[in-house]
Amino acid sequence: MTAPTKPPYGGATDSASERAPGEPLHSPVIDWFDEHARDLPWRRPEAGAWGVMVSEFMLQQTPVNRVLPVYEQWLARWPRPADLAAEAPGEAVRAWGRLGYPRRALRLHGAAVAITERHGGDVPADHAQLLALPGIGEYTAAAVASFAYGQRHAVLDTNVRRVFARAVTGTQYPPNATTAAERRLARALLPQDAPTAARWAAASMELGALVCTAKNETCGRCPIAAQCAWRLAGKPAHEGPPRRGQTYAGTDRQVRGRLLAVLREAHGPVPQSALDRVWHEPVQRARALDGLVADGLVEPLQGGLYRLPQT
């Protein structure tokens, strides 16, 4: 394949061509996906919409290898939303384990309760109804509608945004936060028919996860390398705002994780003294515990006792 003379995002200049802007990208990326996609449990037909939803909550800011064991245990225990809704929210936090960002567990529990009460226990297919569920944002609603129900939606996670930034706009990294321009581009690149659009959403995401990665892109394996605006421009270095790095050691997040670990492993309320032992610095420890209480992840009881939330 030779380098194109047209814009790499497919803006056809041929008057006989009425192709959609992203059409030159669709087939190579989808064909690559058909051959190289990972066999993940939430991609299997038996996962259903609930399995897809659970995976989307768990995969936010968490790599696949950490999600897999927790996902399988979660679905074995709560195969339907009503099964999770019948449990105390603290059990969702306990089962979340060390996935991080445990408020996601409370949000998933809240969504399960709403699905049970509003939709008879079935994850709704309608995008607006998905978006109306507690804890569901634009990305998750689009992902569930697309991956579970084969609908036509722009699904913009970090991997997709990076693929579009490089292949189409010619920049190494997307902005730190999703912009309106990115959303417009994603909609413009969508295939017209819903099944192909859903496949494109999964394929472009997988391409970013496996090939067009943040640190070690492997252009030799990329199905659209010959069309990639960033590669054709000589891979110019990132010139935007500094990319946010993730730190953990010594942060309130680490303290919160240690406090929650004590509560998850306990079979009943935990005294303050047991929590005090997990972190040496009292001010930071108190701040972290107060934050957990404010977020609804920990429930304070009389007598200086604490437990995972029961209501």
Catalytic residue positions, numbered: 56
What sign does the CA torsion over 62, 208, 169, 127 have? negative
Helix (H, G, I), strand (E, B) or coil at 260: helix
Q: Whose CA is closest to 177, among 137, 216, 213?
A: 137
| First-to-last C-alpha distance (Å) of the chain | 59
The DSSP secondary structure of 169-226, one letter per residue, reads: I--SS--SS--HHHHHHHHHHS-SSHHHHHHHHHHHHHHHHHTS-SS---GGG-TTGG
Contact 256, 272 (CB under 8 A): no
Rounded CA gap, 98 and 104, in Å? Answer: 12
Contact 214, 173 (CB under 8 A): yes
Contact 89, 309 (CB under 8 A): yes
From residue 98, alpha-carbon distances to 56, 83, 102 in Å are: 16, 22, 8
Rounded CA gap, 43 and 203, in Å? Answer: 12
Rounded CA gap, 254 and 258, in Å? Answer: 6
Contacts of 237 (CB under 8 A, 6+ apart): 172
Q: Which residues of 115-126 are buried (b: 16+ CB within 10 A; e: fewer)?
A: bbeebeeebbee
